[in-house]
Amino acid sequence: MSDILIYWPNHQTDKVSWTNTKNTSAERIGTGSLQDAAAFCGRQKATLILSDRYCSVHMVELPPISYAKAKQAAPFALEELLAADIDDVHIAVGKPQGKLYPCAVVDREIIQSVQKRVQQAGINCKTITIDSLCLPTPNAVLQFEDGAIIRSPQMVSFVPKTMAATLIRRAFADVDPADIRAMTITPPPSDDALSWQTHDHPLQVLSPTHSPDGCNLYFVDQQATQDVSKQLKPWFRPLWLVAACAVVFVAARWVETQAVKKSLADLRAQQSAVYMQVFPESKGRAIADPARNMRAKLKALESNGGQSQSGLIDALAPLSNALSADNVELGGIYYRQGRMELNVTTDSLQAMDLLKNKLEELSGSAASLQAVTEVEGKTQARIRLEARS
């Protein structure tokens, strides 16, 4: 590892900072252009540190395989995690931590542009890493004016200022605050539980030696010399298995979707039936949205002082006490042009006759029993109420 570090926080500008790791005091940190950094380096090798603002780090779980095969498999494992096309990014795979492999990802055009400008400036650089991987401990945060870089078991990333406080708490939710190295280049938050250490420059704390991951983003285009089919051949079977699993997953989701559609259709049919029972004057009309129609009808009733145009509500009002008796079960109501029919069930024929007389008394209408039957020890009948002739 070279002793000279060059920090390039914004690759869209030419402004960089540099230092020698043997002395990282604020007085020994230089700032200027790439050409100024090249003059400082001379012929010595340098390590370039890029900002996590333009790169990303992902922890990928891979089966127990060799490191060479892991580097070949990582792009396929990352394909679903990345917004960009896998062919448009450059991926550097670090050394495994158990089953997890750290993978640094950067846009291919960015890394090629960075390396070209570094080479044109005359800097001898074959090692490129990311600032979030250079924090001093596995549980560390470095705050800038526009955000913060976080390194924790849950995430390794740059977060913008508006989300920094929330994501810092989430990243270290299971970590003792005493074990967190909290550093800041700007004034620290006044109401934070962490013990912030203020530094003058990021290079006072950033160093590739802090990270054993070995993610070197230095890009070497080997596409012209690689036999792609030979490299992918060991993965044909796993890819076929993944494709088969995807087909099964899609089929299962399709079946679930059809079941949901059927349930919704059944629910709408039930809603239509209830709507027809409550508002029989709507029979014979197409009901596109029974729930919406029901709300509209109820709203109209409310605005009309609770008076139904059909007279149903008015007719039911005096009967409510009789119909709410414990031994009475109301199965359905039919009302049209002043005549009401009630499907009811009682304990016995005598109770049914008493209910008919009670309804006749309360409504002032002529009541008659229709279709009286005995079912499982109970009496079912249809009581018709109509105006006296």
Give DSSP secondary structure letters for 4-20. EEEEES-TTSS-EEEEE
* CATH class for the region spanning 136-201: alpha beta
Contact between 214 and 103 under an 8 Å Cβ cutoff? The reply is no
pLDDT (0 to 100) of residue 352: 84
Mean pLDDT for 148-161 is 85
pLDDT (0 to 100) of residue 224: 42
| Mean per-residue pLDDT over the chain, rounded | 81
Dump pLDDT digits (tens) for 274-304. 777 766 666 666 677 777 777 777 777 666 5
Mean pLDDT for 204-224 is 71
Helices (H), 304-335: 312-316, 320-323
Mean pLDDT for 68-93 is 82
Short-list 294, 337, 333, 296, CA closest to 317? 333
pLDDT (0 to 100) of residue 250: 93
> How many Cβ atoms are within 10 Å of 87's Cβ, its own excluded?
8
Dump pLDDT digits (tens) for 342-378. 888 888 888 888 888 888 888 777 888 888 888 888 8
Mean pLDDT for 148-176 is 86
d(CA 202, CA 17): 9
For the sheet with 16-20, list strands across it: 30-32, 16-20, 4-8, 45-50, 124-130
CA angle 42/47/50 to nearest 5° reads 125
pTM beyond cutoff 0.85: no
If one compares 286 and 123, the residue with the highest pLDDT of the two is 123
Contact between 103 and 57 under an 8 Å Cβ cutoff? The reply is yes
- Which of 232-241, 315-324, 378-387 has the highest average model confidence (pLDDT)? 378-387
Mean pLDDT for 153-158 is 82
* Residue found under tokens 């090249």: 38
Distance set, CA 23 to CA 124, 184, 334 (Å): 20, 20, 93
The dihedral of CA 59, 63, 68, 74: what is its sign?
Answer: negative
* Residue found under tokens 């810092």: 168
Is the pLDDT score of 334 beyond 70? yes
Asked if domains 136-201 and 310-386 share a fold, the reply is: no
Q: What amino acid is encoded at 183 in this protein? A: M
CA angle 16/209/112 to nearest 5° reads 45
Is the pLDDT score of 212 beyond 80? no
* Percentage above 90 pLDDT, the chain: 10
Is the pLDDT score of 226 beyond 60? no
Short-list 266, 295, 264, 265, CA closest to 279? 295
pLDDT (0 to 100) of residue 68: 82
Count each helix (H run) and each strand (E run) in the chain, helices first: 10, 17
Mean pLDDT for 16-20 is 89
Helix, strand, or coil here: 214? coil
d(CA 97, CA 100): 5
* CA of residue 101 relative to chain centroid, distance: 24
Is the pLDDT score of 225 beyond 50? no
Q: Domain 310-386: give its CATH code.
A: 3.30.1360.100
Domain 1-135+206-226 belongs to what topology? Nucleotidyltransferase; domain 5 (3.30.420)
Q: Where are the domains of the chain?
A: 1-135+206-226, 136-201, 232-304, 310-386
If one compares 215 and 15, the residue with the highest pLDDT of the two is 15
